[in-house]
Structures are given as structure tokens and as C-alpha cells.
Structure 1
Amino acid sequence: MRPPRQMTDQDSSLSSSHTEEEEEETMEEDGGGGGGCRPMMAPAASLLGVSSTLHAVIRIKQKYQALKKRRQEMALAMGGLPGAPARTSPKIFTFDAAAAPVSCFPPRKKKRKRRVLYPYRRRRKAPREEQSPAEFCLYLLSAILFVQVYNAIENLDDHVIRYDLEGLEKTLRREVFGQQGAVEALTWHLKDFLSTYVHNRPLVLSVHGPSGVGKSHLGRLLAGHFRSVVGEALVLQYFALHHCPLEAEAPRCAQQLLSLVSEAVELGEREEKIPLFVLDEAEHMHGQILDALLGLLAPSQANQFLNAVYVILGNLGHERITRHLLRNASSHELLAPELRRHLEGRHPLWAEVNVVPLGLLERSHVTECFLDEMSREGFYPDRSHMEQLAAEMEYYPAVGGREYAVTGCKQVVAKVNLL
């Protein structure tokens, strides 16, 4: 007898594979595969021409896929139970290991999570701009310009302070009654001209108004103030009827006036001060004198003649002033242009000057004149007595609730002297 042949590894593997095939057939007969979907395979009739070995391989593959599918379903079913052992599929005959499991349901699309951006923990500094050397030069130039302008303004203030124009304005407001507009215009021109020493033309102010409104008094106040700040030699008061009463002496008077002006301006040039010339009674000045004054205002004159202030006083055009105020009591702004046009037709001198008109005085202004004169003479200022004296003056018919005096304050001194 032959001894029994020992089982080799190949026989054992074949027997195990037959065992697994029988188990799979048994599971298929018992309804294996769960309710899962099986992949559709070609019918056996299509494989009749294939060799038996290849047919066996295909059958093994189909049964392996069915077994694998069932084990996966069992693993999913037992995955929720605690202590259930994890099942793994065998690693033999894994022809489609990379293939995805077949499912009856369409794959779900995974939602793409938005990327969460977190702020930086450290604060980033802005890039530092490089400073150009030109910027420093610009700052330095601005500082130098500011200092120069500041020094210039300080010098202007010092020059104006020398003439004490604030004190002059207070004096005029206190002493000249009813002419606040004219006082403001006069002081404005003086401040604008006296703020510097070098000029291209002299300042000429022509003050006109009816009789008794304070023209001569204004000239005396200006002359007295400038004598106190620049000296007696730099102030000239010229009265036409006193210095040149006869028309035949007009040429000589003109030359005399020019010599007086030349001496004053030369002294002012040496002392760096601006002289003042007050020319009163302009209505009595002859043509030669007006021509001489016009020559002094020419820009071609020497520098010392350009640094001077001329104040011309007179009642030229007083009819125009009176008529304008009696017709338009509230329109004092239009008085200066109208008076200027009238004076330009008289002589070309008034085309080169600044015209400052003086208006008529009201009853209240006349009362203030009585108060001032009585205080100067030492009388007790009785209000009722002053109003009684003011009522004795002659007035124009009331216009717009205002009563203008015919002679202004001209007769106030005579009436106070009779007390």
C-alpha cells in the first residue's frame, strides 16, 4: 500500500478556497447580500468561449465581492454597539482595492468650509517715509519769513505809537461834536499813512463843511497834537486871510509857502519824522497858492516832499452839503462823492486829495457846545439853562425828525460871554 500523501501548502490553500466558495454559495442561497445592490454582471452564456481556468477566476472574484460587501454591511451594523470588534476585509484576491464601494445612493457633496481669518497678534507699523532735505529747508524758510513779517509789523506799530494816534482819536471824539463819521475817516487816513515812513506821494485831506460845524477847531486840535509828538518846527498853520490877504501878493505868498514847506520837510527828513501842514480858509486861497500846492503833490518831487501830511480846511461846497442833508437826512455816504465832483470843477488840486465832508449840527450838538463853553468859562452847567440857550438858535425845518442849526455852534461863544 502507498503511504498517505502529506498535504502541501497548495492543497491547503485550495481546500480553504473551496470551503470559502461553499460558504459563499450557502450565503447566497440563504439570501446573502442583505438588501444591498449587486453589480450587474454579464450572463454566463457570454463566457462559453472562455477557458475553464478563467471562468473559475471570474467566479471567485464575483463571490469575493459579494462576501466583501456583506462583511462591510455587517461591520456598519455592529459599529454602533459597544465592544464590537473591528472587522477588516481579507487581503487576498484584492483586485480592485482602490475602487470605491458601490452604493445605490448618489454621493453627497461636502460643504466647503470657509477659511477663518484670524488677526495678527502683533501690530504692524506703517512704513516710515524718508524725509527729504528740501522739507527741512522749507520749514526753515517759513520760520525766517515769519520772523521778518513779525518784525515789520512791530516796526509799523512802533512808528504809529510815536504819533499817538489813539490819543488823537479820543481827543477829536471828545472835542468835535456831531462829526463822528468825519473823525473816523480822518483818523483812518492818518493811521494808514503814518504806519510807514517811505511813501510815493504825500497825504492830503480836504475837510469842508458849512459855517460853525467845527472846521477851525478841528485844525487847532490836529496842530496841537502834532506839536506835542513831533515838535513845533514840524507843524505849520497857514491862514489864507492872515498870510496873504491881497490877491496882488499871491505870487510872493506862494513862494513864501514853498520855502516854509521846504524847511519843514528837510528837518523832518533829518529827524525821520513826518511834518503836518494845516491850511485853513481854503475858500480865500488865490490861484497861485493852489498851483503851488498842486506842484508839491507831484510824484516827481524829492523824497522829503513825499513824506508830509496836508490838511486843507474850508467851506467850499457848503451849499451842496446843506442841500444834500436837507433832502436826504439819512444818506451821508453819498455826500463825499458829490462834494468831490463839485470841487474838481473849481481847481485840479481837489482831484488829488481825499475829501472829508462835515455835516450840519443838530440841536443836541448845539447843547453840547454850550455845555463845553460854559464849563470853560466857569459857569455851573444847568441843563435847563443850556437847552433854553440852544432853543434861541436858528434852525432849518425839521427833516426826518432832525433839526439842523443854521449857524452851528458859531454863536455859542458870543452868547456865553453875555451871561
Structure 2
Amino acid sequence: MAERWWLVVMLLLVPGSSSAWELLSSLPLSLYNLYECGFRADIDAVDCALARNVFGQHLAQELLFKSVKEFIENDNPSKPLVLSLHGWSGTGKTFVSSLLVKHLFKEGSQSRFVHFFSPVLHFPRVQNLEQYKADLKEWIQGNLTACCRSLFVFEEMDKMHSGLIDAIVPFLGTSWVVYGSNYRKAIFLFISNGGGDDINEVALDFWRQRKDREDIRLHHLESAISKAVFSNPKHGFWQSQIISQHLIDVIVPFLPLRPSHVRQCVRTEMVQQGCKTVASRINYFV
């Protein structure tokens, strides 16, 4: 890929040459998207990072890698990629999101085209709901116009005021190609503890029946999670059009971790921090 861009630069310096423009038009993404937006999707790195750093989450690993890979490799997606991550606190939702961001953008979470929203920080007062909705819609549209490959992360959806998130519904469908930008290349991540109890109950049922937790599939969990968040008036997805219009592409469940998974997480982090001696004895401490 690098050699191809050097060829483009050289051809652009040649007076009267049309080859560079022909080459540019043949590329899957524009110069602006790749170099102004800093979008550097490394699918192999995503796969490797999930395999090396995420434990006890076979469903999340499979679903995230498959959906992101298919979306990135599609030069003309029909809609933005919308993922909703569910599970109890401490199961890895935010951590996995950070891995995706790290391997999709050159500057990772520091990229100005990666946006994080916290309801507690950005939308604290319910009496300002209508203003928040207007501001959020304007913010999303402005940033998508600046970079169609923008990534938006909405944290703690279970703490968001009901009705607020519907402000972005127009950006999640199939029709947003305006101002010369293809909004359908954006990625939206929703992170929530909602549905965590249902996920845990399914995992517990498998344990009671002496079934392998690796046999838990999405169809065991998906409908229960959707129902749990859609019918909870305290959840940001309560009666949301995002749910009723089926705008979420993939619901990603995070299972409760077993002690062995926690030990693996701690050991991996300690090794990465250079604490190899203590990490080798982690079974004694945890």
C-alpha cells in the first residue's frame, strides 16, 4: 500500500499526467479518508489483539471480529456499522472497544475522529434533554461531514436519559450520503450494563446443566437482551427507534468471567507491564 501512495505522489508531480487521478479513483478509500482522518484499519491486528488480550469472551471475539472485518472490507456499505455491547461491569466491554479504536485509527483514542460520549459527563440534566438532542445531532452531523470514517462510542447507555439517543437515528440508516460524504462508512459503538442479568442467567443455566460455556451462542441471548433494554424505562434504549427499527447490526454479549479468566487477564497485563516474575505466580495471589 505504501508503494502505491508513493507512485501517486510521483505521478502528481508530472505535468499533464492523468495516471495519478485514475489511480486515485481506483482506490477503495479516498486520500482524505486515509490520511486526513487517520483511518488505518488493521484487521489482522484486531484479530491478534482480541486473541491475546481477551479471555472468556468467545462470543464477543467472534462477533466483533467478523462484523468489523466485513464492514471494513466493504467499499460501499449499505449503512453505518452499529454495535451494541452488553454485560456486567468488569467483563471487558470498554477494554475491547479501546482495542478496536487502537487498531482502526493511527492515533487510536487520541484521534480527533474518535468521539466518546458519557451520559453522566455530557448529558447530566434531564431538564435539558431537548437541547442535548439538538446538540448531539449537530455534533454527529458536523463530525461525519468532516470525516465519513468517524467512530462514535456511547458509554453507559443504561444511564442515558430515555429518548436522547433517538436524536442520531437519521445517521444510522441507509440514506445518509450528503455533502460529498458517505455517512454509511461510520462506526457507532454502544456500551451498556443492560441485559447483564439475563446474560449471567443463561451462563448460570449452562453451568447448572454441565454444558460448556463455549456452546453459548448469540441466539441464546439476543432476544432477552433486546427485551431487557427496550422495556426498561431507566435505560437509554427504552422504547428507542434504534431498537424498534432494527438499526443495531450486532448485539455483542459479554459473559461473566470465571476466576481462571480473571487470572489470565491479570497475568497478561502484568507481563505487558514487565512484571514477569510476579505474573508467573499469579495463581498464588488470585
Structure 1 residue aligned with 2:127: 248
> CA–CA distance in 2 between the matches of 1:319 and 1:308?
30
Alpha-carbon offset, residue 260 of structure 1: 2.5
What is the one-letter code of the residue matched to 1:340? S
Of 179, 196, 199, which aligns to 1:321? 199
Identity of matched residues, %: 25
Partner of 2:239: 347
2:171 is aligned with 1:293: no
Structure 2's unaligned 5+ residue stretches are 1-25, 232-237
Tell me which residue corresponds to 2:87: 209
Q: Does 1:281 align with 2:156?
A: yes
2: CA distance, partners of 1:215 / 1:248: 30
- Which of 12, 37, 45 is the equivalent residue of 1:167? 45
CA–CA distance in structure 1, aligned partners of residues 270 and 63 of structure 2 = 29
Displacement of 1:286 in angstroms is: 1.2
Question: Given that residues 194 and 228 in structure 2 are in contact (C-alpha distance below 8 angstroms), is that contact kept between their aligned partners in structure 1?
Answer: no
Q: Please, which of 221, 229, 239 is the counterpart of residue 335 of structure 1?
A: 221
Quickly say closer, same or farther: Cα 1:323–1:233, change in 2 above 3 A. same
Give the aligned residue type for 2:257: L
Question: Is the contact between residue 156 and residue 195 of structure 1 (CA under 8 Å) also seen in structure 2?
Answer: no
Aligned residue number for residue 367 of structure 1: 263
* Whole-angstrom CA distance in 2 between matches of 1:218 and 1:157: 26
Q: TM-score, normalised by structure 1?
A: 0.50
In the TM superposition, residue 356 of structure 1 has moved relative to its aligned partner by 0.8
- Extract structure 1 runs of 4+ deviating beyond 4 A: 154-162
Please say if 1:196 is aligned against 2:77: no
Q: Which structure has the higher relative contact order (CA within 8 Å, separation 6+)?
A: 2
Alignment-derived partner of residue 258 in structure 1: 137
- 8 Å contact kept, 2:270–2:279: no
CA displacement, residues 213-259 of structure 1 (integer Å, 9 cap, x when unaligned) = 01111122222333317982321122222222222233333233223
Partner-residue secondary structure (3-state), 2:106: helix
1:388 aligns with 2:284: yes
Q: Radius of gyration: which is bigger?
A: 1
Of the three residues 303, 309, 312, the one matched with 2:190 is: 312
Q: Is the 8 A contact 2:156 2:193 kept in 1?
A: yes
> Paired residue for 1:234?
113
Question: How far apart in 1 are the matches of 2:186 and 2:29?
Answer: 19
Q: Give the match's secondary structure for 1:233.
A: coil
Instruction: Tell me if the contact between 2:195 and 2:224 (Cα under 8 Å) persists in the aligned partners.
Output: no
* Superposition deviation, residue 301 in structure 1: 3.3
Q: In structure 2, what is the Cα distance between the partners aligned to 1:289 and 1:322?
A: 28
Deviation at 1:279, TM superposition (A): 1.2
1:178 corresponds, among 56, 62, 80, to: 56
SS in 2 for 1:278: strand
SS in 1 for 2:135: helix
Cα RMSD of the aligned pairs, angstroms, is 3.0
Give the match for residue 24 of structure 1.
Answer: none
Shift of 1:380: 4.3
**Partners of 1:384 and 1:169 in 2: how far apart?**
25
